[in-house]
Amino acid sequence: MSTENFAELSAIEKLTALMSMLRDKEFGCPWDIEQTISSLVPYTLEEVYEVVDAIENNDMVELEDELGDLLLQIVFYGQLAKEQGRFSFEDIAESINNKLIRRHPHVFPGGDVRQFGIKQDISPDQVVVNWEKIKEEEREEKKRKGGIQALKAQASLLDDVPRSLPAMERARKLQNRAAQAGFDWQDIAPVLDKLKEEIAEFEQALKDKDAEQMSNELGDIMFTAVNMARHCSIEPEIALRSCNKRFENRVRWIETNLQSQGRIFRDTKLQELELLWEKAKESGL
């Protein structure tokens, strides 16, 4: 690959060129050369969570850096797929361009970017409804392109909810997909009743010392909690991450308080730890 005009390239062109060099079989990086689409998955997940962490910490310097790392993952996948003759980074960009135009008919009437600037009266809620309808049309089109076998194989409305998603996010998506087909409670009251019911069933399994049933009922409690979050328009993953952060902050506050007295956490009685916990909460943590 010629590097003479490298300085004249755009930033994204430089990135794709660098990725190609790193994958060069003769002169590239041994680690990059041995990677596959499957081997990159854990690194991609790690980068996503590091982006989220930077956002939660309101660290814009770190966010810029982490977004670059995440972009590299996408460019890496594009390079690997290009080498296999499947698609390239350009194809990825073109695909999302087309999708954005297709899914925003209220911004690009008739799917024509040249029509941008024509104001349309539409609410955010209606945008979401339209978005889901367009996505369903896209799924049906994919089935048709796949032929009769694809239509037979993908018979359920839940089929294309990825199994590789984290369990909490997959629960939310499964519930959303079922809700779109009308299988959903209309308000939160029955969801709360269901949560109480599942807790009672867990308590019974606990009394029976039935480990398998306890696991099943605890799963039902968590699934229902996700449903409750969905009905309240709360992202369950974000809610849990926020709870984790509060827990961490309060434990650290207790540790600092004890250290100032020359004491340590594990040698403190539970009753005193609970009192300190309440004080940490009162302090605003």
Residue 69 identity (one-letter amino acid): D
In this predicted structure, the answer to whether residue 150 has a pLDDT above a threshold of 60 is no
CB-side neighbour CA atoms (13 Å) of 21 = 10
Contacts (Cβ under 8 Å, ≥6 apart) of 261: none
**C-alpha–C-alpha distance, residues 238 and 12, integer Å:** 31
Measuring CA to CA, which residue among 92, 94, 85, 68 is closest to residue 15? 68
Q: Residue for token digits 């100032």?
A: 260
Residue 115 has which token pair? 């029509």
Q: Percentage of the chain surpassing pLDDT 70?
A: 95
Name the more confident of 122 and 146. Answer: 122
Q: Which pLDDT belongs to residue 152?
A: 55
- CATH class name, domain 167-282: mainly alpha
The answer to which of 1-10, 22-31, 47-56, 62-71 has the lowest mean pLDDT is 1-10
Q: Which pLDDT belongs to residue 282?
A: 93
Q: Which CATH number fits domain 6-102: 2.50.20.10, 1.10.287.1080, 3.40.50.11260, 1.20.1260.10?
A: 1.10.287.1080
Q: Which pLDDT belongs to residue 214?
A: 96
The answer to which of 94-103, 148-157, 192-201, 217-226 has the lowest mean pLDDT is 148-157
Beta strands in the chain, from DSSP E residues, in sequence order = none
Q: Which pLDDT belongs to residue 140?
A: 76
6-102 and 167-282, same CATH topology? yes
Residue 179 identity (one-letter amino acid): A
Please compute the mean of the pLDDT values over residues 90-110 and round it to a whole number.
Answer: 93
In this predicted structure, the answer to whether residue 147 has a pLDDT above a threshold of 80 is no
Q: Which pLDDT belongs to residue 209?
A: 95
Measuring CA to CA, which residue among 81, 100, 109 is closest to residue 138? 100
Measuring CA to CA, which residue among 244, 236, 51 is closest to residue 252? 244
The answer to which of 34-43, 129-138, 248-257 has the lowest mean pLDDT is 129-138
- Which pLDDT tens digit goes with each residue over 204-245? 999 999 999 999 999 999 999 999 999 999 999 889 989 999
Q: Which pLDDT belongs to residue 146?
A: 64
Q: Which pLDDT belongs to residue 54?
A: 94
- Taking the alpha carbons of 213, 219, 222, 224 in that order, is the dihedral positive or negative? negative
Question: What DSSP string describes 219-256?
Answer: HHHHHHHHHHHHHTT--HHHHHHHHHHHHHHHHHHHHH
The answer to which of 55-64, 118-127, 223-232 has the lowest mean pLDDT is 118-127
Q: Residue for token digits 């605003």?
A: 284
Indicate the domain borders of the chain: 6-102, 167-282
Q: Which pLDDT belongs to residue 149?
A: 55
- Which pLDDT tens digit goes with each residue over 10-51? 999 999 999 999 999 999 999 999 999 999 998 998 999 999
The answer to which of 42-56, 103-117, 139-153, 191-205 has the lowest mean pLDDT is 139-153
Q: Which pLDDT belongs to residue 161?
A: 85
